Amino acid sequence: MLPIDLSGKRALVAGVADDGGFGWAIARALAQAGAQVCVASWPPAMGIFEKLLERGRLDASRKLPDGSMMEFERIYPLDAAFDTMDQVPEEILESRRYSDRGDFSIQGLAAALKADFGSPSLDILVHSLANGPEVKNPLLETSRQGYLDAVSTSAYSLIGLLRALGPLMREGGSVVSLSYLASERAVPGYGGGMSSAKAALESDTRTLAWEAGRKWGLRVNTISAGPYASRAASAIGFISRIIRFYEANTPVERSLEAMDVGHTAAFLTSPLSAAITGSTLYVDNGFHAMGATMHPAVPEPDQED
């Protein structure tokens, strides 16, 4: 047996607000491997997330194969669009959705982690953050601000998080982010600058692997995941059609599961992947390898997006 053992490791998964996405699956896989897991959640969604946890609504998803329950050491507020609180617009500071959350900037997160656990205290950083306010707009109809917002939150935030948290990470630590095939191929409907943001994320992964590797001894990789009907992805409005198309044309005829990504992330953060850095790993049932499709994307009756 060659187990993934993350005992004694502390992980931070940034971008968890429910139990339906890749962030939760990664947190679950890391906990199953023995890691102590903290999560960072977007302030407007954090209250509902905490209530669901308190009321036991997520207990079924928290249950691990050995019967134990996944526990979070800390849940931190994080809006990764802001490096420091002085960058936050007044209207957000005054919003009730952000009230009573304290310093929810990237620097605030770093300060809270250091206060809670000291330094160095972090071994794993997972970037599960993406947002494009104009994602439903074709690129030609995307505003400059919408484009910049997509790149800021979905790509630059990895740089900001690593710059702030790198000094808190132990040598040999691992950083993992989440990408998508739209970074290198046209996916009509995935607009608003999000395809550009994913391309930037993958490019930055290579550069950050060199810089963070030499500066702190860290590894940096990204996972290019296939389409999955998380709550966030479903909001885009065409995810079911894309999933049907993928499933009709992937070399492996199976549906992608969130834990496929979770298990890959656990591998990438473990000593088993010690020689892997600066890489984009595809977890999409092999769709990225296809140069031609075999089946047309015919919508199922009464299931048009």
Residue 81 maps to a domain: yes
Q: Which residue is catalytic, options 98, 156, 190, 228?
A: 190
Residue 300 maps to a domain: no
Rounded to the nearest 10°, the torsion over CA 106, 109, 115, 117 is: -120
Residue 3 maps to a domain: no
Half-sphere exposure of 262 (CA within 13 A, CB side): 20
Residue 205 maps to a domain: yes
The pLDDT value recorded for residue 293 is 80
Token pair, residue 9, equals 């490791």
Between residues 229 and 220, which one has the greater pLDDT?
220
Residue 290 maps to a domain: no
228 is catalytic: no
Residue 291 maps to a domain: no
**Sign of the alpha-carbon dihedral angle for 56, 27, 152, 237:** negative
76 is catalytic: no
Residue with tokens 């071994």: 123
Distance, in Å, from the CA atom of 289 to the CA atom of 287, rounded to the nearest integer, reads 5
Mean pLDDT of the region 104-121: 98
The pLDDT value recorded for residue 301 is 45
Is 298 a residue whose pLDDT tops 70?
Answer: no
Distance, in Å, from the CA atom of 13 to the CA atom of 23, rounded to the nearest integer, reads 7
The pLDDT value recorded for residue 241 is 84
Distance, in Å, from the CA atom of 104 to the CA atom of 92, rounded to the nearest integer, reads 11
Q: What pLDDT digit, counting tens, does each position of 30-47 carry?
A: 999 999 999 999 999 999
Give the CATH number of the domain where residue 196 resides.
Answer: 3.40.50.720
Is 44 in contact with 38 (CB distance < 8 Å)?
no
Q: Which string of DSSP letters, residue by residue, matches 28-81?
A: HHHHHTT-EEEEEE-HHHHHHHHHHHHTTTTHHHHB-TTS-B--EEEEEE--TT
Number of domain units in the chain:
1
Q: What is the pTM of this model?
A: 0.94
The pLDDT value recorded for residue 126 is 98
Q: What pLDDT digit, counting tens, does each position of 232-262 carry?
A: 666 666 778 888 888 899 999 899 999 999 9
**Sign of the alpha-carbon dihedral angle for 64, 66, 71, 72:** negative
Q: Which residue is catalytic, options 98, 147, 156, 180?
A: 180
The pLDDT value recorded for residue 296 is 62
Residue 174 maps to a domain: yes
Domain that holds residue 138: 10-283
56: left (phi over 0), alpha (psi -120 to 50) or beta: left
Portion of the chain with pLDDT greater than 90, in percent: 86
Residue 100 maps to a domain: yes
Backbone angles phi, psi at 180, to 5 degrees: -155, 155
Is 223 in contact with 265 (CB distance < 8 Å)?
yes
